[in-house]
Amino acid sequence: MPMKRSYPLHPIVGVGAVVIKEGNILLVRRGTPPAAGLWSLPGGAQETGETAREAVEREVFEECGIKVAAGPPIAVLDSIHTDDNGRIKYHYVLIDFWAEYRGGSLCPATDATAAGWIPLHEVTAYPLTRGLKELLAAWNLLEGTPPAGTLYRTIHSQAL
């Protein structure tokens, strides 16, 4: 049975990967709400029975066609979006992992309309999700090194 993403009964656990290779970060342009048209980390929803690390490795492969090895979690974000009536339309608990590129050819699939290795010095010129902007600001990921510790943030958006 497919997961109900809008107006869910419970928060959905999502995973994302920070993959940096040769001065570039792997980003995807989202094709579905709540972040349609924005660039973000590759990832998606965790499935029942898989660990968060397994989920991020699977999601990056499904979404981008590349293999990664998930490292430590570096951020946890509560992403809560309400509609005009104040009802929760989307609620994700997002766990972002540092991940190492292991191989494969980049090819966007599933809900990504584009994927690319974006030069770290150009990433802020892209229309990014609010969560990615906060992650980039909190950890200086533009240096290309994994942060020490884990960031926790809550992101609220209204009227989606």
Name residue 43's beta-bridge partners.
Answer: 16
Closest CA to 94 of 138, 46, 25, 49: 46
Question: Could you tell me the CA-to-CA distances from 42 to 57, 82, 84, 111, 132 in Å, in that order?
Answer: 10, 23, 29, 10, 11
Q: What tens-digit pLDDT sequence spans the chain (160 residues)?
A: 556 788 889 999 999 999 999 989 999 999 887 788 999 999 999 999 999 999 999 999 999 999 999 999 988 989 898 999 999 999 999 999 999 999 999 998 877 889 999 998 899 899 998 888 888 877 666 565 566 667 777 767 765 5
Confidence (pTM): 0.85
The CA-atom distances, in angstroms, between 82 and each of 3, 12, 61, 86, 146 are 19, 15, 31, 5, 32
CA 70 – CA 67 distance, rounded (Å):
10
User: Could you tell me if 120 and 23 are in contact, meaning their C-beta atoms sit under 8 angstroms apart?
Assistant: yes
Domains of the chain in start order, with CATH, are 12-157 (3.90.79.10)
Contact 111, 31 (CB under 8 A): yes
